[in-house]
Amino acid sequence: MSGKPEAPEPVPSRARARRKRTPRDVRLKQLAEVEDLMCKLEYDGQRTIERLAGKWGVTESVVEKVAAEASRRITADRDTIRRDITAGGRELMKKALASANARDFVDVGKLLAQVSGANAPEEHIVTSTNLEASPAEAARMVREAFGERALAKPNGVNGHAKSNGSGAVPPDPSES
């Protein structure tokens, strides 16, 4: 011993205490594996996370992050999705034609029109009359349009209207 006091052991800095990052090539393989499971509809949430965590030797949190990134990558590329659906739809149309299955042909045609945006916009026409109706007049109009049960008041038992046993709802005494 030289008489000098021993230096304390160095304490690892925060940078050194952190876990090593997963190498890029390994992370890309993990992403590809999860994307493949998702595309095949074989990704099953927590069960898949647990299985992959064991397989990869990482925490479930790491797998969740990889799955979130894979999901973003899959859904972000809408043009690719549209192209894949269109290509698959064309193959299905060929098969429907070959088998002379008109219903399948029409169904696939509708899908392709929807994906491509070829459908004509739908028009919804809404009209209104008598905008200044009294509450009693509005109630009468609703009954005419939808029947008596449309304005039935709940009696507090599972929200069902009171009945006289005939199945008809008795008239509201406040409207007399």
Mean pLDDT by 10 residues, the chain (176 residues): 60 55 88 89 90 94 94 79 80 86 85 76 69 78 75 52 49 53
CB 66 within 8 A of CB 31: yes
What is the structure's pLDDT at 92?
85
What is the structure's pLDDT at 91?
85
Q: How far is CA 110 from the centre of its chain?
A: 22
CB 154 within 8 A of CB 124: no
What is the structure's pLDDT at 55?
95
What is the structure's pLDDT at 161?
47
Whole-number Å distance between alpha carbons of 81 and 79 = 5
What is the structure's pLDDT at 107?
86
What is the structure's pLDDT at 106?
87
Structure-token pair, residue 45: 């949430």
What is the structure's pLDDT at 137?
82
Q: Is the pTM above the cut of 0.75? A: no
Whole-number Å distance between alpha carbons of 54 and 56 = 6
The angle formed by the CA atoms of residues 108, 111 and 114, to the nearest 5 degrees, is: 150
